[in-house]
Structure 1
Amino acid sequence: MQNGLNLIHLNGTTSLGKQQGEYAYSWSSTILKPNGEKVFDQEVRKMIVSKKVLDVGCGHGEFAINCSSLAKEVVGFDVTNLFIEHGNRKKPENVSFIQGSTKEELPFSEDQFDCAYIRKGPTSGYPALTQTVKKGGAVLGLHPGDNMDKELPILFPNLFQAKLPKDSTLKAIEKRLITANFDKWEIETVSNIEKLHSPMDVIIKRCFGQHPNIMQKIINENLDEITEIFASNDEDGLPITNSYYIVRATV
């Protein structure tokens, strides 16, 4: 603990679900090409046309609902009940949401889906997909890379936790894919620069998924220092690394 604040990773998903029932980034930034999220989203949209699709770690369901106009059916699966409730309030007829954990047996039958994707969801879902996705079906995954936001713990050591050992996320994904015994798989790293627009965006990013009181405490204690560090960088924003692993697998 430093400055009276708990140092955290940026993935406050469960906490965020309890607070607002959705998973959305609220800081302002410009993401330069290539954009890993957009690359992934485009591939998913091509994969799901007229197919029955499983969205593992669907969050509040926004992406699943957006995909519903292309797919025959989309089933969203997530551990957070408030996310599921949020999705169910907005879903079209061909979308359903089911609560459960990928660390337990998935509540789906063998060969139930034509394809599946994990968009920043749990890597623990991969082993079960070789059973619930039909033989020859495609599986796509998107996960934050080991170099994601690597500059922030260096620039703001009192606010951001240092990353895990290099390549630890990549090795964890590879282990899951090997355990899943896919017919074939590959992992591509897509990295670029994201420019945060203001000192407040640094604070918002730090407080993602946290209680509003934590944000106010950081503003009171750290805004001046953050502003000074921010001003010493590019005038069009603070550059940080935006990095993702894209998984492409075939059952």
Structure 2
Amino acid sequence: MQKPLFDPMQHPYWIPPQTAEWHANVALESGVYKYPWKSVFDEPRAETIFADKISAFLNEDTRVLDVGCGHGEFTMTFADKTQEVIGIDVVPAYISTANGNASQSTRFLVVDADGKMPFLDDTFDVIYTKKGPWLFHRGLDEGHRILKPGGIVLGLYHCGTDGGLRRLFPGLYTPLPDNYLADIQSRYDRQLSESNLKRIDLQIFEEVEFLSSPEDVLIKKCFGQKESLKKIVWDECLREVEDIFARHSTPKGLRVVNYHALMIGQADEMKGGSV
């Protein structure tokens, strides 16, 4: 059995992903929320699938809200497809970057999605989030308040990576439970059923990615971590990771599989204000 690699998650410097401290560190490094490792994908990519789903609900009169827009790159996909797209995020550095690339039909605002939304009732035809906050949990009214009757809600969430990655690099990556995908399906089934939205679609699907180099295996693991921890991980792991990568990579790179959940719901046609 292969000896486990160094586990950076057990080090006191480790910052839990998606926390405020983690986002602040990502923003400090680059001002953007974008994966820094190099890789190639088999098509269609998850973002392409999601963009096509969103686009199917858009026309020249549609008003759209991107919740957790990051630095706005994905938001800009829809700039010329609809009347207005507004992106919100709680991290000021992301919004600063986004506003540097805004167009006439896009706006970007610093907004905490857990609080009061700075929008009138029934403002948006489409609300979506790509790995960001979901405004339609049980007991939350703000999403329903600002969504028009019959409006569409979409969410895309990254649900983990494997495809052999975790078996090849034990310690550095933790194995997923045997029933992992079934549990993910149940979780998003419940989330959609509790959202007071008419269910249109729920998919758990795979995206195939090829990491380009051994360093990218480590960069993926340490995304959002401080340089002090990255140096420790490189010192502890790089040589073994290089050996493993050389034995198992393909001409495209090291094949991994990303799991994603896609949710689509619709507001009641007869709703009025909050639900």
What is the TM-score of this pair, normalised by structure 1?
0.87
* Selected match of 1:108 from 119, 125, 128: 119
SS at match of 1:101: coil
Q: Which residue, out of 28, 31, 44, partners 1:18? A: 28
Q: Which residue is equivalent to 2:165?
A: 152
How many residue pairs end up in the alignment? Answer: 250
**1:31 and 2:46 are equivalent in the alignment:** no
CA pair 209-139 structure 1, distance change in 2 beyond 3 A: same
Among 244, 247, 250, the residue aligned to 2:263: 247
Which one is further off, 187-196 or 163-172?
Answer: 163-172
CA distance in 1, matches of 2:100, 2:235: 37
Of residues 5-14 and 15-24 in structure 1, the stretch that sits farther from structure 2 once superposed is 5-14
Q: Which of 50, 75, 81 lines up with 1:40 in the alignment? A: 50
Q: What's 2:272 paired with?
A: none
TM value normalised by structure 2: 0.80
Q: Deviations over 1:209-244 (max 9, x none)?
A: 122333232222211010111112133221111221
Cα distance in 1 for partners of 2:143, 2:176 equals 29
Aligned pair in 2 of structure 1 residues 67, 222: CA closer, same or farther (>3 Å)?
same
Match of 2:200 in 1: 185
Q: What RMSD in Å do the two structures reach over aligned CA positions?
A: 2.6
Contact 1:7 1:160 in 2 (8 A): no
Q: CA deviation at 1:132?
A: 1.3
Identity across aligned pairs (percent)?
29
The equivalent residue for 1:233 is 248
Q: 2:109 aligns with which of 98, 107, 115?
A: 98
* Larger CA Rg, structure 1 vs 2: 2
SS of structure 1 residue aligned to 2:49: helix
> 1:133 aligned to 2:147?
yes
How far is 1:19 from its partner?
A: 2.8
1:201-212 equivalence runs, <5 A = 201-212=216-227
Distance in 2, matches of 1:114 and 1:77, equals 16
| Structure 2: gaps of 5 or more residues | 1-5, 268-275
Indicate conservation of the 8 Å contact 2:201/2:265, yes or no.
yes
Unaligned residue ranges in structure 1 (runs of 5+)? none
Deviates more, 1:12-21 or 1:43-52: 12-21
Per-residue deviation, 1:98? 2.0
Q: What is the aligned counterpart of 1:198 among 213, 223, 232?
A: 213
**Cα distance, 1:14 vs structure 2:** 4.2
Instruction: Summarize the alignment of residues 73-88 of structure 1 with structure 2, pairs less than 5 Å apart.
Output: 73-88=84-99
Q: Using the TM superposition, name which of 179-188 and 191-200 deviates more.
A: 179-188
